[in-house]
Amino acid sequence: MVALAAGALNLSEGVVSVLNGGDASKLAEGAIDMALGLFALAIARGAFRMATWAWAAIMTWAVIGLTDQLLRHFFYGNPNYPVMAIDAFAVLALTPREMQIAFGVRPRPAPVLDPEHPDLVRH
């Protein structure tokens, strides 16, 4: 869901930039935003299928995005706070062990036999 939001946000920003026109720099920025939006939508499709590569792609995307937005905040003064919030949410949502197991990034924990009750299995 987070990749879908990021893809929709980047795609819409790119379309608005291209439609508004401007110099070559603004058009290139809009084209890059559109390409990143399409890439994020492809990642979202993989995430809905619980693909391992999608987990890694979303985490990588979020870390790069957070780094970019933090650099913009501290050095340039023009951060995009919605993008920063989406990236932070992605990292927080995908970090728990249960999410990593669901995406196949980590193996399921092996059952441990309880020494006091050999017939009971503890997870």
Write the CA distances from 14 to 11, 39, 56, 106, integer angstroms.
Answer: 5, 13, 24, 36
Least confident segment among 46-55, 58-67, 74-83, 107-116: 107-116
Q: Residue 97 pLDDT > 70, yes or no? A: yes
- Is residue 41 within 8 Å of residue 60, measured between CB atoms? no
* Confidence at residue 104, expressed as pLDDT on a 0 to 100 scale: 93
- Does the pLDDT value for residue 115 go beyond 90? no
Q: Mean pLDDT, to the nearest integer, of 55-83?
A: 89
Which pLDDT score is estimated for 96?
A: 95
Percent of the residues in the chain that have a pLDDT greater than 90, as a whole number? 31
What pLDDT score does 88 carry?
92
Number of structural domains (the chain) is 1
Cβ–Cβ < 8 Å for 86, 36: no
pLDDT at 120: 58
Farthest-apart Cα atoms in the chain, separation: 74
d(CA 14, CA 30): 4
pTM value surpassing 0.95: no
Taking the C-alpha atoms of residue 41 and residue 34, their distance in angstroms, rounded to an integer, is: 11
Helix, coil or strand: residue 113: strand
Full residue range of the structural domain in which residue 81 is found: 2-122
